[in-house]
Structure 1
């Protein structure tokens, strides 16, 4: 029996003032935890409205536009965050300024789902459209507009099904994980931060060559260590303390722990270049032994599980 994925496309979601501080030391496209969190919130709202069986198993994020709210003056060396004005306090003075990096987005989400039949798709379309335009936020930003959701079925090994979807995602860039570059660099002796920066830094090289007109000519080349549009992305959290209770925690019924962000490399890749839908799908993955709460790519999770299975039966 062929493997068929049932997918729901939420096309061109316009998000205003999304959170661009994806971690304590990265700024730009929102963290993967923000996108999977928004989809999980959407699922819970649908479950509470009668769609009790629907489940979103994995998510692909495609960026069509990301407008970071930053400013660089004529003589400025670096960009500055464009902040929002806080209300005056009771003395008439301006309150303390807290930097909140924001960005305006146009994104499409592809959700792999189970638990709903073909006849119920129109009802699901209506409910999702209403929720996104009324009660939902996404990556901390306000949803200004979203086009009508669309349903797709992709059979594994059928390029026509995949092309029907990827055409809807162009022009745009799907975010994929490039943890392999980090692993390779750290295996060669670099620490995590050096491995990250080494793949992001832009190298400028000059070379003198002979010229027919003049005696010598200087040619500059600009390149990175690896090809591709590589960016730092936040993909989860690492627990720092034991599970327990904290004073004034938001949910008194759920164990609490302090955690730090996990940063790795990602790559923006045009959807028409993918060979399998699993290349761009993300889902939750937990590692209780190492206190890791991750957003990981479906394809790499499958590969890891297969490696474990192979080693078990070897």
Structure 2
């Protein structure tokens, strides 16, 4: 069923949604599996639904807010390229003159793990009567549920015509050697999003740089900035 056919009436949309639901149930999406409801788990198991966003911008915003509350208690994966960029700038600011300077890879690794660091703390000694320095291990805080994610590929070679490279999986399409591109994502509650563009991902291609990647239009609220971590005592 094509999307244009599914828009004709409610029956066509229901049929299209059911077929999409069957396809999704056989895929791994956002690092997880889509599982159908177990028999007897609920009286009326939920079914896939195809909903049209119509009207003006304000009407679509109200409709999205209503739909987003139906998706609770689920989570949506959004792009946080801004967090990665900010962390890179913080690493460089905390290590002036370091050779070589921190890279984006260092910032990505820092955000991809749980960091523990030692902090000096003066504690009063009841016996000696003077403060004693102790080492206390603390865990770096993160604003939100941040995760490392693959977002696409970067070209390593020119684009070869179909069939020019031996051993290619598909000899009917052009071929190019690539490497994976990674960024930082964040799981957020869908009711915190403003519109469908912040929820969905779309493909993007930059011919000049040979970058193939998925992009997301999520914009973090002003109060949702990443908390800087100082490496000094």
Note the aligned Cα RMSD (angstroms).
Answer: 3.5
Separation in structure 1 between the aligned mates of residue 7 and residue 73 of structure 2, nearest angstrom:
29
Could you say if the C-alpha distance between residues 220 and 173 of structure 1 is closer, same or farther in structure 2, counting changes exceeding 3 Å?
same
Summarize deviations over 1:195-234 as a string: whole Å, max 9, x none.
Answer: 10222342345564657x997798654223x411111000
For 1:171 and 1:199, locate their aligned partners in 2 and report how far apart those are by CA, in whole Å. 25
Quick one: which of 158, 162, 185 aligns to 1:242? 158
Report 1:269-288 matches (<5 A): 269-288=188-207
* Conserved? CA contact 1:284–1:293, under 8 Å: yes
From 162, 170, 176, the counterpart of 1:257:
176
2:182 partner SS: strand
Answer 1 or 2: which has greater strand percent: 1
Q: Secondary structure at the match of 1:153?
A: coil
Q: Where does residue 116 of structure 2 map in the other structure?
A: 203
**Shift in alpha-carbon separation, 1:210–1:160, aligned structure 2, 3 A:** farther
1:12-44 C-alpha deviation (Å, 9 max, x unpaired) = xxxxxxxxxxxxxxxxxxxxxxxxxxxxxxxxx
Q: How many residues align?
A: 188
- Name the CA distance, whole Å, in 1 between partners of 2:58 and 2:120: 47
Contact 2:68 2:191 in 1 (8 A): yes
Cα deviations across residues 124-144 of structure 1 (Å, max 9, x unaligned)?
Answer: 322442454379731399865
Counterpart of 1:156 (choices 50, 57, 61) is 57
Quote the residue 2:18 is aligned against. 129
Aligned-partner Cα distance in 2 for 1:131–1:199? 35
CA distance in 1 between partners of 2:24 and 2:87 (Å): 44
What TM-score does the superposition give when structure 2 sets the normalisation length?
0.65
* Secondary structure in 1 matching 2:69: helix
State the secondary structure of the residue aligned to 1:180: helix
**Are 2:149 and 2:184, in contact at CA under 8 Å, matched by a contact in 1?**
yes
Q: What TM-score results when the alignment is normalised by the length of structure 1?
A: 0.50
